[in-house]
Structure 1
């Protein structure tokens, strides 16, 4: 996917809540870097407020949340709500982890982008982010 911006895509990768398993998030962060994106990894135990604040400060094009704790129906709605409050309508909120299909659909109806289950090829994730940014942040 061609990047329409005159700079690398900026993606914030975060682990929210008490979920202490971050190997997947680090793999995704490395894969996105390999795809030419600039990645800001916030580390473990972030709050939704911390994630949105960091995303604003870093002027990111996308936020990727890795979640394995089962708190996805709390975390994603809170982040999307904070993003709307801050006028971040042109920033993608995506992510992945252990999220049932029915919950993925409900979250997408709230405005969350595509969510990826474990085992998704990293190139698919990079292509999705690039395509979304090309369509929504072409400035």
Structure 2
């Protein structure tokens, strides 16, 4: 991490996409990121992919954390990535996915551009450290 990155606050959007109504994990992650000194925006429940894209772009976040437990990750996450690419926001955003994601699907998500997938049992410290080490530099 460069000195400039240490100076600025990392901005994160924690997003719940689709009809998934389980948000306890998203709240836990949001609190851990906040406690680590990150600025955190929480999308609320039942957001459409386009709403998440718009929030990511408008809030100029460094990190997009997508929390999804519904099993629709293979449809909804690619829609978000496509939207970010349309707004030229894909390269500047660290994309993380949290939830129960099968190994084969995890590999496919990473091929699409998801930086990391965190499943059950991942530690908050591990996620915070991953963000600090991998957040894109902004000019």
TM-score in same-fold range (> 0.5): yes
- Aligned-pair CA distance for 1:73: 0.2
TM-score (norm 2): 0.93
| Contact in 1 for aligned 2:92/2:138 (Cα 8 Å) | no
Return 5+ residue gaps in structure 1 as ranges: none
Q: Corresponding residue for 2:71? A: 70
| Contact in 1 for aligned 2:64/2:95 (Cα 8 Å) | yes
Task: Give the 3 Å change call, closer, same or farther, for CA 10–94 of structure 1 in structure 2.
Answer: same
Cα separation, 2, equivalents of 1:3 and 1:75:
35
**C-alpha RMSD of matched pairs (Å):** 1.4
| Contact in 2 for aligned 1:2/1:130 (Cα 8 Å) | no
Aligned length: 137
- Aligned-pair CA distance for 1:19: 0.4
Q: Corresponding residue for 1:4? A: 4
Structure 1 stretch displaced more, 71-80 or 4-13: 4-13
Return 5+ residue gaps in structure 2 as ranges: none
The structure showing larger relative contact order (alpha-carbon pairs under 8 Å, at least 6 residues apart) is 1
TM-score (norm 1): 0.93
Task: Give the 3 Å change call, closer, same or farther, for CA 51–3 of structure 1 in structure 2.
Answer: farther
